[in-house]
Amino acid sequence: MPLSLEEVEHIAMLARLELSAEEKNRYRQQLSAILDYIRKLQELDTTDIPPTSSVSSGAGHLRADESRPGLSREALLENAPEVERGQFKIPPVFE
Amino acid sequence: MAALRHGETSSRELTRACLARIQRLEPSLHAFLYLASDSALAQAAAADRELAALRKADSQSTQPLLGIPIAIKDVLAVEGLPCTAGSKILEGFIPPFTATAVKRLQEAGAIVIGKTNTDEFAMGSSTENSAYGVTHNPWDTSRVPGGSSGGSAAAVAARLIPAALGTDTGGSVRQPASFCGVTGLKPTYGRVSRYGLVAYGSSLDCVGALARTAEDVAILFQIMAGRDPLDATTADAPVSKIEFVGADTRLPLRGLRIGVPKEYFVRGIQAEVEAGVRQAVSVLEGLGAEVHEISLPHTEYALPVYYILAPAEASANLARYDGIRYGPRIQAESMWDIFYRTRGGKFGAEVERRIMLGVYALSAGYYDAYYGQAQKARTLIQRDFEQAFEQVDCIAAPVAPTTAFPIGAHGDDPLAMYLEDVFTLPANLAGVPGLAFPVGFDRAGLPVGMQLMGKHFREAVLLRMAHAYQQVTDWHLRAPSL
């Protein structure tokens, strides 16, 4: 069952991806083919099988909830595309 | 390393030799995205001063890698060096921290010489998805080196560097190791810290090592492994010293049981790959191992499970790239349009496809049918391994259905590319370790690889087996003529 153009547009909106008309059309075909293949999984009987929650045996450490030194503000702002007065700068969100 | 200690060569000579060879061969290989030549030479000079002082004092360094140059896949952060993850969305990003795995190697004396090419965000099996151009296979430059750690594998195979780090989410260390004829380890999940690794599929991502021999891989692995407070999924399991037996031991593998899973020898596998693996298994048998046919019945479901879970995790992990805090921004009137344009404009096609697949699998109405069902199937795949490991100590299988394929062979057919991962994905889904190493060549002169998969935290068994194999064969010593 191929994805519709509307579905592709909805997924792209959820993923915050701006796509050209050509990309939408190409991804529609490619994702439909991949999903067709993946649907093979539906044939598997998983009644009473618990979902995997973790494959790490012996892990799951929680640290004490205490404040610790982290990276400096300067270091963290160094890679930002736009900075003003020690903060990330973005366009206004509220008018 | 002994030569460095005894002063027969110096770290500067070694580093200069690597840089000279890189300079000569990079135009035909493109294994590197960044070379840290100046800092590497400065560190080499410092290492030489320390080695000279130690010789004078007649003492040994406590740093096992003192003065040894290594390369790092460009998905691991090294403070002060650019880290792109093969993506335009991280162009110009210079991390202010170093990944734990790299830091431990640096503390052991290793010198980072540069960052190696990778498929964008480690999503791919050929390095063709790198936004900075494909890496060429040193055995045949018209072919891919495999991926996503293709830059690291090609660099080791071409003798540009003695060892390199890679990462393996669905086969990304083992498959390029196989395509390039080097030895590559994907450790147990949680064995090596992921701190400082650009996240792709967090329940699958593993940091591993590539080198020419199992012995060299073991050295790096033992230094990197172990609990790290900065990664809550790292395990407490002890990292004991791996003891290798000498070449004079007649039956070094006596008492070890190898399982050969029938599901890994299916239609579509290149005849020379199957023959190479079966031949290697009989060499291991000759070294004392017992061989049993086994079954991992849910193998065929690994691919659909992986291509639901990994994209689902990726869609969440890659939500952080928004043009606000790091990386380039495509400017727009509103913040939402910055997100849309920056992400749509800077992510490559494969990354966009996987993000969209993941978003779809997690979206309302589809969650149970896709993500939920995949997590249950993952349990069945894990159980396959648990049951197999009641009968055997390790599993021997091909790494990929074929040897290295030509650049462009899969064109714009993502599904055909995904099928390349069919034999490597199960180990990631089960969290078990896997080790790939060369076991021969096909008629075209391309390396054939085999992988051994083992029980959780039993990397030592795999490394000892590969080492024993490498004592009686010379595939790992063959170098491409370049």
CB atoms B431 and A55 under 8 Å: yes
Integer-rounded Cα radius of gyration of chain A:
23
Question: For tokens 């995904």, what's the residue?
Answer: B418
Q: Taking a C-beta distance cutoff of 8 angstroms, is the pair B188, B460 a contact?
A: no
Q: B32-35 and B111-116 as β-strands: parallel, antiparallel, unpaired? A: antiparallel
Higher pLDDT, B284 or B1: B284
CB atoms B325 and A71 under 8 Å: no
Confidence of residue A58 (pLDDT cuts 50, 70, 90): low
Chain A residue numbers touching B333 (CB-CB < 8 A): 91
Tell me the one-letter amino acid at B83.
C
Mutate to test the interface with B, among A3, A8, A55 (most CBs of B within 10 A): A55
pLDDT at B267: 80
Farthest-apart Cα atoms in chain B, separation: 73
User: How far lies B242's CA from each of B133, B177, B238, in Å?
Assistant: 38, 21, 12
Confidence of residue A57 (pLDDT cuts 50, 70, 90): low
Among chain B residues, the shortest Cα distance to A34 is held by B415
Can you give the length of chain A in residues? 95
pLDDT at B249: 81
Of the candidates B344, B373, B430, which has its C-beta nearest A55's C-beta?
A: B430
- Indicate if the pLDDT at residue A54 is higher than 60: yes
- Percentage of chain B with pLDDT > 70? 100
Mutate to test the interface with A, among B84, B330, B343, B373 (most CBs of A within 10 A): B373
Per residue in B284-308, pLDDT tens?
999 999 999 999 999 999 999 999 9
pLDDT at A59: 54
Global ipTM: 0.95
Q: For residue B338, what is the DSSP state?
A: H
- Nearest C-alpha of chain A: how many angstroms from B335? 6
Confidence of residue A60 (pLDDT cuts 50, 70, 90): low
Per residue in B437-479, pLDDT tens?
999 999 999 999 999 999 999 999 999 999 999 999 999 999 9
Q: Catalytic amino acids of B?
A: 73, 148, 172
Q: What is the DSSP string of B178-202?
A: HHHT-EEEE--TTSB--TTBPPSST
- Indicate if the pLDDT at residue B125 is higher than 70: yes
Q: What is the DSSP string of B240-276?
A: PPPPPPPTT-S-TTTT-EEEEEGGGS-TTS-HHHHHH
- Indicate if the pLDDT at residue A95 is higher than 80: no
Q: What is the DSSP string of B201-248?
A: STTT-EEEEEESSHHHHHHHHHHHBS-BTTBTT------PPPPPPPTT
Chain A residue numbers touching B341 (CB-CB < 8 A): 18
Q: Taking a C-beta distance cutoff of 8 angstroms, is the pair A21, A8 a contact?
A: no
Higher pLDDT, A2 or B116: B116
pLDDT at B22: 98
- Indicate if the pLDDT at residue B4 is higher than 90: no
Closest Cα partner for B381 from B308, B272, B474, B451? B308
- Indicate if the pLDDT at residue B246 is higher than 90: no
pLDDT at B50: 95
Q: Phi, psi at residue B290, to the nearest 5°?
A: -95, 140
CA separation for the pair B135, B141 (Å, rounded) = 9
- Percentage of chain A with pLDDT > 70? 94
Among chain A residues, the shortest Cα distance to B329 is held by A81
What mean pLDDT do residues B110-135 have?
98
Domain extents in chain B: 2-304+370-477
What mean pLDDT do residues B100-110 have?
98
CB atoms B429 and A55 under 8 Å: yes
CA separation for the pair B386, B384 (Å, rounded) = 6
Of B60-64, B198-202, B342-346, the range with the lowest mean pLDDT is: B60-64
Q: Which helix (H) or strand (E) holds B441?
A: strand B434-441
Confidence of residue B248 (pLDDT cuts 50, 70, 90): confident
Among chain B residues, the shortest Cα distance to A51 is held by B376
Mutate to test the interface with A, among B89, B376, B421, B425 (most CBs of A within 10 A): B376
CB atoms B456 and A42 under 8 Å: no
- Nearest C-alpha of chain A: how many angstroms from B353? 7
- Nearest C-alpha of chain B: how many angstroms from A67? 14
Q: Taking a C-beta distance cutoff of 8 angstroms, is the pair B205, B167 a contact?
A: yes
Of the candidates A33, A42, A55, which has its C-beta nearest B203's C-beta?
A: A55
pTM above 0.90, yes or no: yes
Of the candidates B301, B333, B412, which has its C-beta nearest A91's C-beta?
A: B333
Confidence of residue A53 (pLDDT cuts 50, 70, 90): confident
Of the candidates B189, B375, B379, which has its C-beta nearest A56's C-beta?
A: B189
Mutate to test the interface with A, among B186, B306, B360 (most CBs of A within 10 A): B360
Confidence of residue B187 (pLDDT cuts 50, 70, 90): very high
Chain A residue numbers touching B357 (CB-CB < 8 A): 31, 34-35
Q: What is the mean pLDDT of chain B?
A: 96
Among chain B residues, the shortest Cα distance to A40 is held by B304
- Nearest C-alpha of chain B: how many angstroms from A27? 7
Closest Cα partner for B431 from B163, B226, B234, B277? B234
- Indicate if the pLDDT at residue B347 is higher than 90: yes
What mean pLDDT do residues B136-164 have?
98
What sign does the CA torsion over B6, B11, B12, B13 have? positive
pLDDT at B1: 64
- Nearest C-alpha of chain A: how many angstroms from B301? 7
Among chain A residues, the shortest Cα distance to B319 is held by A15
Q: Does domain B2-304+370-477 have CATH number 3.90.1300.10?
A: yes
